[in-house]
Every structure is written in C-alpha cells, then in structure tokens.
Amino acid sequence: MSELFSPLAQRALTLRNRIAVSPMCQYSAVDGLPDHWHLVHLGSRAVGGAGLVMAEAAAVLPEGRISPEDVGLWNDAQAQAWAPIAAFVRAQGAVPAIQLAHAGRKASTHAPWRGHGAVAEADGGWQVVAPSASAYGERYPSPVALDADGIAAVVDAFRTAAQRALAAGFELVELHAAHGYLLHQFLSPLSNARDDAWGGGFEGRTRLVLDVVDAVRAVWPERLPLWLRLSATDWVEGGWDVEQSVALARLLAPRGVDLVDVSSGGLSPAQRIDAVPGYQVPFARRIRAEAGIATGAVGLITTPEQAERIVADGDADVVLLARELLRDPYFPRRAAQALGATIEAPAQYLRAW
C-alpha cells in the first residue's frame, strides 16, 4: 500500500492523500481580486487528484503584496471572490487552503516576467516596511522600520485575513514565515537589527511570528488545521539556521500549529544553494524528529517514487509540489498509477480511467 496515497487526518479534517499543491504566486490579480485564472489554475489541480490545494500568498495588507498584481485578503470583496474557488476545490475532493502573507521589504516589486526590482510609486508601487531600514538588495525598495503600532497592525491584519479566509470557505490556512518575507525578516539577524522587544536574541526575533500564530489561532476554528511555512536556513553565515528553526518549531505545536511546511532561503541575495533533487528534505526530517511536529517537504520533488520515499521513510508527513504541478496538473493521478494506488475520478472523466 502506498504511503503517499494514505489519508492524513489533522484535527477534524482529512486529506485524501499526502500530495499538496504548494502556494504559487500567479501575479494575475487586479486590486487583490482572484479571477477566472485562479479558478482554473487551482481547480484543475483539485481535479488532478491532489489531497490539498493551497492558493498562493494572499497579502493581509495592500502594502504586503509582493507585486501590484498579487492577490489579497485585506477586504471583504476579496473574500467573496475567493469563495467560489474554495467551493470548487472542495467539490473535487481536495481540501481548499490559502497562504497568508506580508512581503515586507520584498514588496512593491515587479512580477517576474515584467522585470526585476522596485516598482516606482508613479507606476503603482508604494512605501515598503521591514523590521529595520535595510533593503533586500540594490534594486529593491528602501523600507521604513515598523514601529510598535505598525507591528500591532500587522498582527491584526493576519487575524482579520484568517477570518476572511474562513468566511470564503477555506479549511486550512498557512502563515508565510519563509522566503525573505516580513515574518522571516523578523526571524533573521541578517534583516532584523532591532534592539527593542522585537529584535536582538532568539526570543525577540521570534516574537512577531508567535504573536501572529496566537492571533490567528484565536479566531481560526479549533476543528481546522493551521500550518506555517518556514525557511529552515538563510544559506548565509550568521543568518537564521536549522537549529533556530527546530527551536521555533518546538514553540509552535503548543500554540496550535499543526504542520511546519519546511522550505529555505530567500532572505539574502548572498545565499548559496546547491539545489539538487530533494535538497530541502533533510530540514523537514530534522524538524519533524527533533521538534515533534508534522512537517511538509518541498523542493525539486518530481517523481512518484521520490515523493513516496519521503513519506514512507518518515522524512515528512506531506509533500508540497510546485513546478511539477505546473508542468502536469494531473501528476497525482499519474503517481497513483505508478504506485498501484487509486484516486476517485470525476464522473465526467471516468471513461479515461
């Protein structure tokens, strides 16, 4: 029996298998509103057999968008636009999920195919914020350091975005504390030079993440899971590392986080990564073993056999696929055939199965 295609129960929710669609920004929204593109993009992957389909990073504040074309959940109109997408994903047997995010100093930048670096305010850009007034790189916007009121507003924005996610029909939310975005910026000493209660040592640098977790868990139903994406290492000497990731993960489970989605990097242009297949899986394995929390593995997972081995060996509880599911939305069905498992097909497709 395939472990990859065994169900995963978390709280009152059950994933039909261990394949999750990783959140992938589409840079295709106007005023933060998802549209038909997002319905087809996410819906086709639910039809394709994934156990969980996670919508891309939805900004909790307008200034938290990566680009002007990012989706959001900072107002009720956006929640209403997400509702039919979540409903369609659920109707296909997948769990509808969404990632909540704030880009911090990596905000107000161009969509990848439109160039790189900062979007000028005259072209629709905005003033960005960060833990400290240091930019990500030379071509990136110069941030303003958040004060105590600004930090409180960020925490509240994550809380209200979670409430809107629930109203839209999502059954799982993930908090984005990875890839060099705002919560990760507070975690790393490379981007957080504060000397107040949100900086300095480990306790200060992790305070914002824990406050956001507490605020979201307070409004997110007890019956539904809460995940958190974490960059296990900055891949830069003196930055955030796997030891600190393990220590943070140990604090998350008692606060109601059900799984750590383990990625890496994105905090500094100085990072040096040897990106070979499965290169991030050891981080997921270590956090799972040492912190006693479920994990998700990501990064160059491209074959059914590789995904099966990750789950069967206990390296992670789920695998989150991105580029492979862009190439093939029906990868889960192909993987099931390769591994001798089955996924119920929509009635409209039965003649092909």
Residues taking part in catalysis: 181
Give the other-Cβ count within 10 Å of 349's Cβ: 11
Residues 6 or more apart whose CB falls under 8 angstroms from that of 241 comprise 232, 233, 234
> Residue 236 CA to chain centroid, in angstroms?
22
For residues 147 and 138, is the Cβ–Cβ distance under 8 A? no
CA separation (Å) from 117 to 111, 114, 121, 134? 9, 10, 13, 15
- The three-state DSSP-derived secondary structure of 35-50 is CHHHHHHHHHHHHCCC
Residues 6 or more apart whose CB falls under 8 angstroms from that of 201 comprise none
Residues 6 or more apart whose CB falls under 8 angstroms from that of 329 comprise 44, 45, 47, 48
DSSP per-residue letters across 264-313: ---S-TT------TTTTHHHHHHHHHHH--EEEE-SS--SHHHHHHHHHT
Length of the chain in residues, anyone? 353
Residues 6 or more apart whose CB falls under 8 angstroms from that of 195 comprise none
